[in-house]
């Protein structure tokens, strides 16, 4: 049993006030007696008696708290709009440790996405003791209680994943279950490429178009930083984050220091995204991928949701790793051509320079999946062959596959989903463990271009 | 109330900003230099451009009023929710009275503009109305304060925040 909080309003009872959905204000006071006010984008709760504020720029607030440690912060509940005063006493500044690292990763991710990596730098976390917390209005009201018990949802999630025997159905099941049980209708999974330089989208749910095949650079932007640091990043109102970032950008431009600014990176996914939870899919030290959940409403993912979905993501990561580790059985190649070809004819072009594939002059895919499809189509046009095994593909020297066998499965999923989305007469069908079937509904003419 | 030392002139641009749909809070402090924050409404710049009036709900500003009666030191911070443009004014409270009809009309205009501004960034009107009502639920009384700014700062977030305007 934890001791009752000495505060009029315990911090844990107003947890949503500390999520950065509505800005807070801080008032400090100089030794000369002049108050100073500043708006804060977020106040972090560290424990039931301490909060942390990010220290990025040396400013008047900082000067004041170093000479007079008393301060007051007002936070606002995003659910009830009720305001609370926190009477604070500055204790110390931390420049390392768990709180610092957590805040630093989040700041670095947002800074990278908004092109402000050279501007937003966390110098420290100012730690304040909370002397009291009370409502601004004299009436006491209870805050909206959010769901915290997700045992049933996690039970269903793990049960469904355990029934999946291949990566494609695992990803589809995971995203479907996140939508139906956790009310996360917008989700996608990205995988690292063979060089560990990019992430590419291998599966998505709720987006139109699906975004499968889209890429981001590892280490850049929210998704890239999550992949690089193996740490979750959550934003509760992206609109406000961008308003703040653009205000700082404009201030820097006015100072004539444009060299500090980098290009703002477009955010993949929902065009009107407000909430995001990006979770690394890690087993040991190995990054299996990144799971991104988005929503068009602010405050969709709070601390509780992060912890619960982190559990789901860890389970998904282990399931992906297990499926990849299982070596597929070898099968004899069969000649099967059950599907009748229509009289229509399409032209497939393969550009050798980047292995890009165009079907009737419409871009389909490039890189390793492009090379792979070209190989399959050549076999189909040359011999009518439609069935293939993962193993023969892995062993085919012509394909020049990188020496990371884990990735073939995810490349095939990407290729399959791109075909489903962009070409109605070529399909790559999962035909059992380690087997593929190519279904072609038209006559094809293949052209190879240097 | 104490007298202002050197009140500064408020420009047209700043007047427009202060009388728009900003989020406005007042900062004061007691004799032990303990700070206190109160949300305020209906800012109006005087005709001579040397003072600003505003209204604070009595129920939420008792300590603020005590602090002002004691020292007169007042800081007002105004932020536009749609751009984070922020201005801070530091000065002296020079008058405390009951609000007139014109002052209450200014409060209504501010409340309306603040709600509109927040709607533009996806914060529903109902929520800003709840925020407003929560400050007045135990007492609908507003107190009018007039203060003379002596220093004005650009407080827009960034490396140059806090520079004098």
- Write down the residue that tokens 């220091």 correspond to: A257
Q: Which residue has the higher pLDDT, A45 or A432?
A: A45
| pLDDT tens-digit readout, A198-250 | 999 999 999 988 888 888 999 999 999 999 999 999 999 999 999 999 999 98
Q: Span A72-89, mean pLDDT?
A: 95
Residues of B in contact with A74 (CB under 8 A): 25, 37, 39
How many Cα neighbours within 13 Å face the side chain of A132? 7
Whether the CB of A63 is below 8 Å from some CB of chain B: the reply is no
Distance from CA of A247 to the nearest CA of B (A): 6
Poorest-confidence range of A284-288, A331-335, B40-44, B88-92? A331-335
| pLDDT tens-digit readout, B7-49 | 899 999 999 999 999 999 999 999 999 999 999 999 999 999 9
Q: Span B74-90, mean pLDDT?
A: 96
Interface size between A and B, measured as CB pairs under 8 A? 146
Whether the CB of A175 is below 8 Å from some CB of chain B: the reply is no
- Write down the residue that tokens 């129920």 correspond to: B59
Looking at residue A386, its pLDDT comes to 87
Whether the CB of A111 is below 8 Å from some CB of chain B: the reply is no
Distance from CA of B135 to the nearest CA of A (A): 5
User: How far apart (Å, rounded) are the C-alpha atoms in residues A444 and A432?
Assistant: 26
Looking at residue A159, its pLDDT comes to 96
Token output for A290: 């990144």
| Cis check: omega of the bond before A66, within 30 degrees of 0 | no
pLDDT of A64 higher than 60:
yes
Poorest-confidence range of A201-215, A250-264, B45-59? A250-264
Closest residue of B to A248, CA-based?
B158
pLDDT of A340 higher than 80:
no
Looking at residue A422, its pLDDT comes to 87
Query: Among B28, B32, B160, whose Cβ lies nearest the Cβ of A255?
Result: B160
| pLDDT tens-digit readout, A154-210 | 999 999 999 998 899 999 999 999 999 999 999 999 999 888 899 999 999 999 888
Query: Among A71, A73, A243, whose Cβ lies nearest the Cβ of B84?
Result: A243
pLDDT of B4 higher than 90:
no
Q: Which residue has the higher pLDDT, A413 or A333?
A: A413
User: How far apart (Å, rounded) are the C-alpha atoms in residues B30 and A395?
Assistant: 78
Contact A247 B156 (CB under 8 A): yes
Domains, chain A, with CATH or none? 11-135 (2.30.110.10), 166-323 (3.30.450.40), 345-449 (1.10.10)
Looking at residue A140, its pLDDT comes to 60
| pLDDT tens-digit readout, A281-298 | 999 999 999 999 999 999
Instruction: State the pLDDT confidence band at A330, using cuts at 50, 70 and 90.
Output: very low
pLDDT of A334 higher than 50:
no
Looking at residue A210, its pLDDT comes to 85
CB A91 within 8 A of CB A129: yes
pLDDT of A333 higher than 60:
no
Rg (CA), chain A: 26
Query: Among A37, A81, A251, whose Cβ lies nearest the Cβ of B75?
Result: A37
pLDDT of A301 higher than 50:
yes
pLDDT of B58 higher than 50:
yes
Distance from CA of B64 to the nearest CA of A (A): 12
Query: Among A72, A243, A251, whose Cβ lies nearest the Cβ of B82?
Result: A243
Residues of B in contact with A24 (CB under 8 A): none
Whether the CB of A132 is below 8 Å from some CB of chain B: the reply is no
Q: Span A401-419, mean pLDDT?
A: 81
Contact B134 A243 (CB under 8 A): no
pLDDT of A335 higher than 50:
no
pLDDT of A332 higher than 50:
no
Alpha-helical (H) ranges within A384-448 are 390-395, 406-422
Q: What's chain B's average pLDDT? A: 93
Looking at residue A336, its pLDDT comes to 43
Q: For an interface test with A, which of B159, B163, B165 has the most A Cβ atoms less than 10 Å from its Cβ? A: B159
Kindly tell me the number of DSSP H helices and DSSP E strands found in chain B.
Answer: 4, 8
Distance from CA of A155 to the nearest CA of B (A): 35
Looking at residue B1, its pLDDT comes to 57
Whether the CB of A23 is below 8 Å from some CB of chain B: the reply is yes
N-term to C-term CA, chain A? 72
Domains, chain B, with CATH or none? 12-156 (2.30.110.10)
pLDDT of A319 higher than 60:
yes
Contact A35 B71 (CB under 8 A): no
User: How far apart (Å, rounded) are the C-alpha atoms in residues A268 and B54?
Assistant: 44
Contact B35 A60 (CB under 8 A): no
CB A302 within 8 A of CB A79: no
The helix/strand/coil state of B156 is coil
Q: Which percentage of chain A shows pLDDT scores above 90?
A: 59
Token output for A330: 């070898």
pLDDT of A433 higher than 80:
no
Closest residue of B to A56, CA-based?
B159
Looking at residue A399, its pLDDT comes to 81
User: How far apart (Å, rounded) are the C-alpha atoms in residues A360 and A346?
Assistant: 6
Closest residue of B to A75, CA-based?
B37
Q: What's chain A's average pLDDT? A: 89
Instruction: State the pLDDT confidence band at B111, using cuts at 50, 70 and 90.
Output: very high
Token output for A182: 């956790």
Poorest-confidence range of A62-76, A92-106, A239-253, B69-83? A239-253
Poorest-confidence range of A55-64, A124-133, B91-100, B111-120? A55-64
Q: Kindly give, in sequence order, each residue whose CB lies less than 8 Å from that of residue A159, ignoring residues fewer than 6 positions away.
A: none
Sort strands A24-29 and A35-40 into parallel, antiparallel or unpaired: antiparallel
Distance from CA of B101 to the nearest CA of A (A): 25
> Which DSSP letter does residue B124 get?
-
């Amino acid at each position: 049993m934890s001791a009752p909080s000495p505060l009029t309003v315990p911090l844990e009872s107003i947890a949503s006030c500390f999520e950065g959905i509505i800005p807070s204000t801080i008032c400090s006071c100089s030794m000369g007696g002049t108050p100073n006010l500043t708006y804060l984008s977020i106040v972090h709760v560290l424990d039931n008696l301490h909060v942390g504020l990010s220290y990025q720029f040396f400013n008047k607030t900082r000067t004041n708290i170093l000479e007079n440690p008393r301060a007051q912060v007002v936070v606002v509940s995003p659910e009830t709009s009720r305001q609370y005063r926190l009477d604070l006493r500055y204790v110390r500044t931390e420049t390392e440790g768990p709180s610092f690292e957590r805040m630093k990763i989040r700041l670095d991710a947002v800074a990278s996405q908004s092109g402000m990596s050279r501007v937003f730098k966390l110098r420290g976390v100012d730690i304040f003791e909370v002397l009291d917390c009370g409502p601004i209005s004299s009436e006491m009201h209870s805050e909206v209680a959010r769901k915290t018990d997700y045992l049933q949802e996690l039970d269903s999630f793990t049960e469904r994943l355990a029934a999946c025997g291949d990566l494609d159905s695992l990803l589809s099941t995971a995203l479907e279950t996140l939508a139906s049980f956790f009310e996360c209708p917008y989700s996608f999974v990205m995988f690292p490429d063979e060089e560990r330089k990019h992430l590419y989208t291998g599966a998505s749910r709720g987006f139109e178009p699906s975004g499968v095949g889209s890429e981001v650079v590892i280490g850049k932007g929210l998704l890239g930083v999550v992949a690089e640091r193996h740490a979750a990043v959550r934003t509760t109102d992206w609109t406000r984050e961008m308003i703040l970032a653009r205000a700082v950008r404009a201030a820097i431009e006015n100072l004539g220091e444009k060299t500090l600014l980098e290009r703002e990176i477009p955010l993949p996914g929902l065009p009107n995204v407000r909430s995001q939870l990006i979770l690394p899919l890690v087993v040991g030290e190995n990054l299996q991928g990144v799971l991104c959940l988005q929503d068009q409403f602010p405050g969709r993912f709070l601390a509780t949701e992060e912890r619960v979905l982190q559990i789901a993501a860890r389970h998904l990561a282990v399931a992906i790793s297990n499926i990849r580790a299982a070596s597929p059985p070898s099968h004899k190649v069969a000649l099967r051509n059950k599907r009748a070809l229509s009289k229509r004819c399409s032209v497939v072009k393969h550009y050798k320079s980047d292995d890009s594939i165009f079907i009737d002059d419409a871009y389909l895919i490039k890189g390793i999946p492009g090379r792979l499809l070209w190989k399959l189509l050549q076999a189909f046009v040359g011999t009518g062959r439609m069935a293939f095994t993962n193993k023969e593909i892995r062993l085919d020297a012509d394909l020049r596959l990188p020496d990371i066998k884990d990735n073939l499965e995810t490349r095939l999923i990407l290729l399959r989903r791109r075909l489903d989305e962009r070409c109605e007469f070529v399909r790559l069908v999962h035909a059992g463990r380690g087997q593929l079937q190519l279904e072609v509904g038209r006559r094809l003419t293949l052209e190879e271009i240097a | 109330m104490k007298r202002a030392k050197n009140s500064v002139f408020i420009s047209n641009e700043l007047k427009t900003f202060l009388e728009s749909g900003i989020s406005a809070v007042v900062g004061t402090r007691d004799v032990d230099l303990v700070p206190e924050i109160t949300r305020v409404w209906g800012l109006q710049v005087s005709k001579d451009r040397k003072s600003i009036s505003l209204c604070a709900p009595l129920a939420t500003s008792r300590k603020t009023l005590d602090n002002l009666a004691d020292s007169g030191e007042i800081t007002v911070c105004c932020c536009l929710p749609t751009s984070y443009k922020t201005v801070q004014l530091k000065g002296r409270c020079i008058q405390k009275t009951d609000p007139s009809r014109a002052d209450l009309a200014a409060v209504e205009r501010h409340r309306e503009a603040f709600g509109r501004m927040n709607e533009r960034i996806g914060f529903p009107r109902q929520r800003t109305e709840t925020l407003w009502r929560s400050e007045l639920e135990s007492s609908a009384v507003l107190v009018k304060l007039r203060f003379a700014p002596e220093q004005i700062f650009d407080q827009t977030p960034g490396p140059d925040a806090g520079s004098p305007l």
